[in-house]
Amino acid sequence: MPITAGLTLGAGIAATARWAGYDRDRSFYPTVLMVVASYYVLFAVMGGQALSVELAIATGFTGLAWLGGRGRLWLVGVGLLLHGLFDLLHPAVIDNPGVPAWWPAFCAAVDLVLGGWVLLLAGRVRRNGPPPH
């Protein structure tokens, strides 16, 4: 169920962003990446441990978002895909009791859909130039 919900939410976010024109703004998907990365920090605060490691990792994803927002959208797509991989590895490598058991699968599904979508958008931007504002 978490994977199905994540896939549906990821597709819904991409479709809504396209329909509403949010993804025309170069800051939209970098912001999504920063928000996605911040959830594990929230869970560390809730669980009372792993805060420093979760902050360090979120800082790395924020750096990718920043670089991607400066004209390298493909880095945001890669960042989302890497975060999906991180979600899958998280339970085995970081002890954070604040993370709900279903979260890694859910978040990985969202990240993988959005990461793939952003890479497709980045390819279009590269071929056709940026969308009009």
Q: Please give the pLDDT value at position 132.
A: 47
Residues 16-29 have a mean pLDDT of: 93
Report pLDDT for 126: 57
Please name which of 63, 69, 59, 83 lies closest in space to residue 28, comparing C-alpha atoms: 69
| Element holding 122 (H helix, E strand) | helix 103-128
18, pLDDT greater than 60: yes
- Residues of the chain with pLDDT > 70: what percent? 93
pLDDT tens readout for residues 51-110: 999 999 999 999 999 999 998 999 999 999 999 999 999 999 999 999 999 999 999 999
- pLDDT confidence of 133, banded at 50, 70, 90? very low
The whole-number pLDDT of residue 123 equals: 87
Give the pLDDT confidence score for residue 127 in this predicted structure: 56
Amino acid 45 reads: V
From residue 109, alpha-carbon distances to 50, 71, 114, 124, 133 in Å are 23, 26, 9, 23, 30
Closest to 30 (Cα-Cα) out of 61, 65, 73, 55: 65
Domain boundaries of the chain, sorted by first residue:
2-128
Model confidence at 124, in pLDDT bands (50, 70, 90)? confident
